[in-house]
Amino acid sequence: MSGDGEHVGHGLPAAGGTAEESLAGGELAEFRAFRERMNREILDEGNLVMNRFFNLDGRAYESGALDVRTKELLGLVASLVLRCDDCVTYHLTRCREEGVTRAEIFETLSVGLIVGGSIVIPHLRRAVARWSELQAMA
């Protein structure tokens, strides 16, 4: 959270994150503004456990033995089967930044659908709507 160049999953957007800034859909912008404002309020509270967790959350998606794209797909499928729309939106946004294709997104979502079952479908609909929105923002 302190280093430069560090992206923060579910956290504060990196300073100068131009790629993200240009995604200016209505609801999506609102979501990002709320996330940013609340992340700041949480981090400013100075709770050591929360602050370190937010930092670690960013680290988990950094390049290593697996590249960033693959890790973002892992985050996406995990978010889908756990049925967290905000988390899905976050990882879709990151996937878009990393150049993931529509076909790759659909295959990732299809694994989540099979693993998680029909209960995932409402989240799948919102995920696809969000992805189409992100593509339209190019």
Determine the Cα–Cα distance for residues 29 and 32; give it in Å rounded to an integer.
5
Phi first, then psi: give them for residue 82, nearest 5 degrees: -90, 0
Nearer to its own copies by Cβ, of 23 and 123: the residue is 123
Nearer to its own copies by Cβ, of 18 and 103: the residue is 103
Least distance in angstroms from the C-beta of 95 to its own copies: 12
Q: Tell me the torsion sign for CA atoms 115, 116, 121, 123.
A: negative
Please give the residue ranges that form the binding site for its own copies (CB under 8 A): 9-10, 34-35, 38-39, 41-42, 45, 47-50, 52-54, 56-57, 59-61, 64-66, 70-71, 73-75, 77-79, 81-87, 101-104, 106-122, 124-126, 128-129, 132
Least distance in angstroms from the C-beta of 24 to its own copies: 21
Torsion-angle region of 78 (φ positive above 0: left; ψ -120 to 50: alpha; else: beta): alpha
